[in-house]
Structure 1
Amino acid sequence: MALSEPELIQIRRKLHQIPEIGMEEFETQKELLKIIQAMPQDHLEVKTWKTAIMVHVLGTDGSKTIGYRTDIDGLPVTEATGLPYASQHPGRMHACGHDIHMTVALGILSHFAEVKPACNLTFIFQPAEENASGGKQLYESGALDAWMPDEIYAFHDNPQLPAGAIGCRQGTLFAGTCEIHAHFTGKSGHAAYPHQANDMVVAGAQFVNQIQTIVSRNVDPIQSGVVTLGHFSAGTTGNVIAGECQIDGTIRALTQVNNQLIQKRVRAIAEGVAQSFACELDLDLHQGGYLPVENNSQTTADFIAYMQQKPEVEFIETTPAMTGEDFGFLISKIPGTMFWLGVESPYSLHSEHLAPKEEAIMKGVTAMVGFLEHRQHAVFTAQYE
């Protein structure tokens, strides 16, 4: 039998207790493998890569493969929900809801372990979405090559949507992101003798101020971009001129063109500040696999049409979000669709208080089992037309 709602809730609570940081999901992988191996294995093949798990479901016609991806890592957050099944790993929490993601994936997989699909399915339990571009690493490793999907689907939970609601849109769902790490090195000295030093607080402040003009003066106002600098560190005490300054932040843009434009301007400003203050610059702009999540027009049109015509599904057309997701890399290589699953919480993603409503789990499973069964027939119809 496919996993029931009470079983899925218990699975989710177990996974919630063992959050792990990306590429360290050893206990999570062990728990997932235990659940997967308890399913009928008649038409399943399972393999691992580092902490990733891939499950290939053999269909009656193996000419096409549909992919389904879930992320499995947690965040370095200390949980404050007070739940009886709260994290047992100090300083770690599934504050982004990946425990919900994994549980829904297991529910869908358990159905197709019982009911052989028309075409192949590849389920990807992917590590390191939060911190190390796990999707990019897995794709480039070659571990997925033999089971490479022709199209792929994934969701992210959304505390702002009603529990179980499905949200989606054509075009970009999530922004592409890029980390900013800027280190300026000058010369420290006595506060009374500024002419004998090279003050990196002043240099850093100029960098911070100039960065604020990028979106307002370089990005098309009809489009969107964000540059946030969240960390500024310099000096040791008030009467010593700081010889070094470290500034860290993030770039967010809904298109890769704008992300690269903003990166170019950040680099130009940083180099200009370094030149004008005669200091050294070490600048790292790191995007990795966090490309914009740009939904494929054909798969997304079919996904939206299916969800809209199902009376049991509460479908909501959503607007783009500046959150990042490394599914952007996978979807740049494989056509597909990402969507939201509502989990209705007063707290945001990454909050130490986030407690998703568990009734969303079975609704998500039911909606995606139905869609994947529908999609298999759509794929074969298009193939033979």
Structure 2
Amino acid sequence: MQTNVEWGALAESMRTWRRDIHRHPELGFHEHRTAELVAGLLTGWDIEVQTGVGGTGVVGTIRGTLGAGPSIGLRADMDALPMQEKGTVAHRSTHDNVFHGCGHDGHTAILLGVAKHLSAHRAFRGTVHLIFQPAEETLRGGSEMIRDGLFERFHCDEIYALHNNNALPAGKVGVRSGAILSACDLFRIDIQGVGSHAAMPHRSIDPLMIGAAIVQSIQSIVSRNIDPLDTAVVSVCKFIAGTAINVIPDTAMLEGTVRTLSVAAQELTLKRLRDICDGAARMYGCTVEFEHLQSSPPTVNTPEQTDVVRAAAEHVLGVDNVISDVAPLMASEDFAFMLQQRPGSYFFLGHDGLTCHHPAFDFDDDTAPAGAAVFLEIVRRRLG
């Protein structure tokens, strides 16, 4: 049992680590300084450490002193965003166009706090693997760790992760069984038409007009194909064509994203996108190529492990501070790949301040003790 003095010291340590990481942000698969910091602290606490997992990932392993038992994984992400910080905090980023605008510095500090506590309190059965993941923002870091044998090398019976969420007040935790975050699919549509002088449009096959028609048609996917009780978002975010004010170009390019909360909606949306492109090519007599750039699944929590998180959070924070069946977000997360491999649960940690990806975002350090306490209570409940 930790005393208030011990918790206060741990909270201050997490604040110090977090702000140091915030000052020195690194993009996905380039988290060399952060990984070195994490590995050095874990080693100093006599924790088994493996570096270079999935690129720049770090895994720390703590074995309980009470004998054999289950193995659980606790995961934090380490990477920053390719954006300029516009806040004025004293610990602001020292690197141009690299910034911890999503809270991964806080997640890493929380898991370090958990590691420090467990290193001194090993009276449990089984094993805890502390998974410090690279490149979450690319939606590729989790799958790279899996490809590098994460679960074969560090067996986990179940896994857990958290993310700050300012839709919840500080001091509260949100849990949800089933999909809590959406799938993410990125796409590109290339249109090859025929260019012409702007004064002679009849000699063209205008890719701008075709692109506009495709954008309009895409709006029918959700409104006329997806079950209203399911959820999907399709956004075209780039439309590039033309170089001169009096020339109809010969090509156009569209890029966008699909977000869905179910695999069925994900598959149907992608099929309809392809159908729309094929139909436009036949209708206008041109070439329309659909390219599926990247895909990640929805983040789906299993019921048993979500109940564990709920009970743990209620124990350490109080029933009134736990939001069951919290509303899902249409953001995406590559912890989803890990949840495809092992049962587990991803939960929200409420915080005060700006939303993620805002240029002046700063992680709320006062919430770190709550996040660490929930993780530790999960360990206690699962490993005794």
Per the alignment, residue 74 of structure 1 pairs with 80
Of 300, 306, 315, 1:300 maps to 306
Question: Is this contact kept in 1: 2:39–2:51, CA < 8 A?
Answer: no
Greater CA drift, 364-373 or 221-230: 364-373
Separation (CA, whole Å) in 1 of partners of 2:350 and 2:41? 25
Q: Deviation digits for residues 99-134 of structure 1, max 9, x if unmatched?
A: 111010100111111111321011111111111421
TM-score by length of 2: 0.93
| 1:351 alignment counterpart | 358
The answer (yes or no) to whether the contact 1:164–1:361 under 8 Å persists in 2 is no
Paired residue for 1:246?
253
Alignment pair present for 1:10 and 2:43 = no
Kindly tell me: are residues 62 and 240 of structure 1, through their superposed partners in 2, closer, same or farther at Cα, counting changes over 3 Å?
A: farther
SS at structure 2 position matched to 1:203: helix
1:104 aligned residue (101, 107, 110): 110
Structure 1 residues 323 and 334, CA gap change in structure 2 (3 angstroms): same
1:143 to partner: Cα distance = 4.3
1: CA distance, partners of 2:62 / 2:267: 39
Correspondence for 1:46: 50
Which amino acid counterpart does residue 173 of structure 1 have in structure 2?
Answer: I
Residue in 2 aligned with 1:381? none
2:316/2:373 contact within 8 Å kept: no
What aligned pairs does 1:297-336 form with structure 2 within 5 A after superposition?
297-312=303-318, 314-317=321-324, 318-336=326-344
Aligned residue number for residue 383 of structure 1: none
Give 3-state SS (helix, strand or coil) of 1:323's partner.
coil
Distance 1:300 1:15 in 2: 30
1:133 aligns with 2:140: yes
CA root-mean-square deviation: 1.7
Question: 1:176 and 1:115, CA in 2 relative to 1: closer, same or farther beyond 3 A?
Answer: same
Kept in 1, the 8 Å contact 2:226–2:232? The answer is yes
Structure 2: stretches of 5+ with no match in the other structure: 1-5
Name 1:205's counterpart in structure 2: 212
Q: Work out whether residues 194 and 241 of structure 1, in 8 Å CA contact, stay in contact via their aligned partners in 2.
A: yes
Q: Deviations over 1:309-355 (max 9, x none)?
A: 4455721231111111111111011000000011211x221110112
- Equivalent position to 1:160, from 142, 155, 167: 167
In structure 2, do the counterparts of structure 1 residues 37 and 306 end up closer, same or farther at CA, with 3 Å as the change threshold?
closer
Q: 1:113 aligns with which of 85, 110, 119?
A: 119
Letter in 1 for 2:286: C
For the 8 Å contact 2:312–2:377, the answer to whether it is kept is no
Aligned residues: percent identity? Answer: 31
- Structure 1 match to 2:129: 122
User: What 5-or-longer segments of structure 1 have no aligned partner?
Assistant: 378-385
Residue in 1 aligned with 2:91? Answer: 85
Structure 1 residue matching 2:228: 3-state secondary structure: coil
Whole-angstrom distance in 1 between the partners of 2:278 and 2:30: 36
Q: Give the partner amino acid of 1:55.
A: G
CA drift at 1:204: 0.5
SS, match of residue 101 in structure 2: coil
Q: Does 1:341 align with 2:346?
A: no
SS in 2 for 1:4: helix
Kindly report which structure 2 residues correspond to 1:253-264, keeping only aligned pairs within 5 A, or say none: 253-264=260-271
User: Do 1:45 and 1:57's aligned partners in 2 also have CA atoms closer than 8 Å?
Assistant: no
CA contact (8 A) 2:172 2:349 kept: yes
> Aligned residue for 2:3?
none
Checking the alignment, whether the CA contact within 8 Å between 1:230 and 1:249 is kept in structure 2 is yes
24-33 or 199-208, which moves further after superposition?
A: 24-33
* Per-residue deviation, 1:47: 3.5
Q: CA deviation at 1:218?
A: 0.3
**What secondary structure sits across from 2:381 in the alignment?**
helix
Deviates more, 1:322-331 or 1:124-133: 124-133
Q: Indicate conservation of the 8 Å contact 2:139/2:333, yes or no.
A: no
Instruction: Give SS of 1:324's match.
Output: coil
Deviation at 1:178, TM superposition (A): 0.5
Q: Give the Å deviation of 1:287.
A: 3.8
C-alpha distance in structure 2 between counterparts of 1:316 and 1:323, whole Å? 19
Give me the whole-angstrom Cα distance separating, in 2, the residues matched to 1:265 and 1:148.
39
The equivalent position to 1:286 in structure 2, one of 276, 293, 310, is: 293
Pair 1:195 & 2:199 matched: no
Tell whether 2:374 aligns with 1:367: yes
DSSP-derived class of the 1:131 partner: coil
Between stretches 57-66 and 290-299, larger displacement belongs to: 57-66
Task: Name the SS of the counterpart of 2:86 in structure 1.
Answer: coil
